[in-house]
Chains A and B, each alone.
Chain A
Amino acid sequence: MAVALSLAGLLCCTQDRGGPAAPLTPTPTPRALLHHPHGQVMVKRAAGDDWVPAKDAMPLYEDDKVRTTSGASATIQFASGSSVALAEDALLGISETHPRPGQDRTDVTLLQGHLDATLERPAQQALSVTTPAATVRAGREIVFQ
């Protein structure tokens, strides 16, 4: 009954909310920026079905995908300062939103291809890469703010 009452109260308050419509979802924060796309580099947004050509300084959000074709390459710069150079014929996803129970969130999911990762200050930075077979962690893993 308590649950029913609180749900009813929630619905009541939501319906009564006046004034201009508030945004239903907060503005997403970019997880990384894509730089120096060379050749055919494509990006698919988490909410979209289409692959669009990547542009320099393009923001990447959770669950976005990046694909390079033969001869293509791109660099992905993370907010922590670490970066990933993506080689040709690669498919990469930006940080999983909903990892399985007991599985930690990772910054990058590399599904196919090759990447070179750099942490300029590993004592202050961290980067994790998940593949279909393993999880790779570099740097401090934990960054206390």
Chain B
Amino acid sequence: MIWLALAVLLSTTDPAVVQPGETLDGVAQRVLGDPAAGAELRALNPGLADPPRAGAHLKLPGPDRALARSALSSARHAVDQSAPGADREKASAQLTQARALFAQARYAEAANAADSAWKLLNKGRDASTHFAVDVEKNGDTRVATKSGQPVRVESEGKMVSVAPGQTVRVRKGDPPELVPLPSQLVDTLGVPTLLSPSDHRRLSYKSAGLLGPVRLTWSPVRSAESYAVTVSPGNGGTALHLTSKHPEIVLPRLSPGTYQWTVKALGVTGESPLSEQRAFELAREGLKLEVHETKWK
């Protein structure tokens, strides 16, 4: 009786024993963490009914499955990263063959086929690889490849290849996210929006000499270190090129006339596109002549 109870207990704890109502895909999910591995279980257990009988004892994959899976992953990664060409086509065909062998539970053959594909695409690539991993207290992770071959970062079922010079950030529970390089940040530097003076505004000053001061303003741009301002006289004269750390600038006094102005944001390694162009006119306010009656006769 004790032996019988022990036998029943073993059948319920043995992962190879099919539970009531369980399909092969369900067993694959439970045991291998992969519902798609049902095909492998079918191949390993020929003649098994599908769905299998509850209590049936299945033959499960051995450690060679993990080896083959790893070889497939490496080969797939190498194919994805390779440049188009004859080697890539050949490696891709070998990878397809390796996948088919894997699905048939022919793990050793699958591993060899995948390894052949990997070797084909990695001839002579054996420079040392350096990478850094940073884990914050909340578990968030940053991975940076410094040199050598790209490293693979996997999270939430998504894999990202991190080439030398690249950094990936992974927030816990999220897929990996490539951190833009400084040169990529240039594209995200916004274009300043001009605020004042409004386009074609006429500005009058009571002065007999140069006119001003004129204050130009525009919207601040995120990540901008400074701004380059160009003021071009309408008469074709020499343009003024000025920089400002703030989204405004006061121009030096200028001759009467029409001027066009534009602004662009400057970042750490690049600049934004030019803003729209606006114009303003500097005019001398008419001098009021006050003529007093003279005492001379």
Contacts and interface: CB of A to CB of B under 8 A. Distances in A.
Interface string B169-180: 011111010000
Interface string A75-119: 000000000000000000000000011111100001111111111
Interface stretch (B27-35, B196-204, B248-256): B27-35
B148 A132 contact: no
Interface residues of B, number: 51
Contacts of B131: 116-117, 136, 138
Contacts of A121: 126, 128
B133 A133 contact: no
Contacts of A119: 128-130, 148
B23 interface: no
Interface in B141-159: 141, 143, 148-149, 151-155
A88 to B, nearest CB: 12
B72 to A, nearest CB: 9
A142 B71 contact: yes
B287 interface: no
Main secondary structure of the interface of B (DSSP, over half): mixed
A56 interface: no
Contact of B133 (A4, A8, A104, A129): A129
B172 A132 contact: yes
Interface residues of A, number: 40
Nearest to B5: A4
Interface stretch (B62-70, B187-195, B276-284): B62-70
B3 A137 contact: no
A105 B66 contact: yes
B129 A101 contact: no
A132 B152 contact: no
B149 A132 contact: no
Nearest to A5: B3
B125 interface: yes
Nearest to B74: A141
B140 interface: yes
Given A102-B33, A103-B33, A134-B170, A4 B7 contact: yes
A46 interface: no
Contact of B130 (A8, A111, A114, A118): A118
B213 interface: no
A118 B129 contact: yes
10 contacts: A1-B4, A1-B7, A3-B6, A104-B69, A105-B66, A133-B140, A133-B170, A136-B131, A142-B71, A144-B115
Closest 4 A-B residue pairs measured CB to CB?
A102-B33, A4-B3, A132-B139, A101-B33
Given A119-B128, A131-B141, A141-B74, 14 more contacts: A4-B6, A101-B32, A102-B32, A111-B135, A115-B132, A119-B148, A122-B129, A133-B139, A133-B171, A133-B173, A134-B143, A135-B155, A140-B118, A142-B111
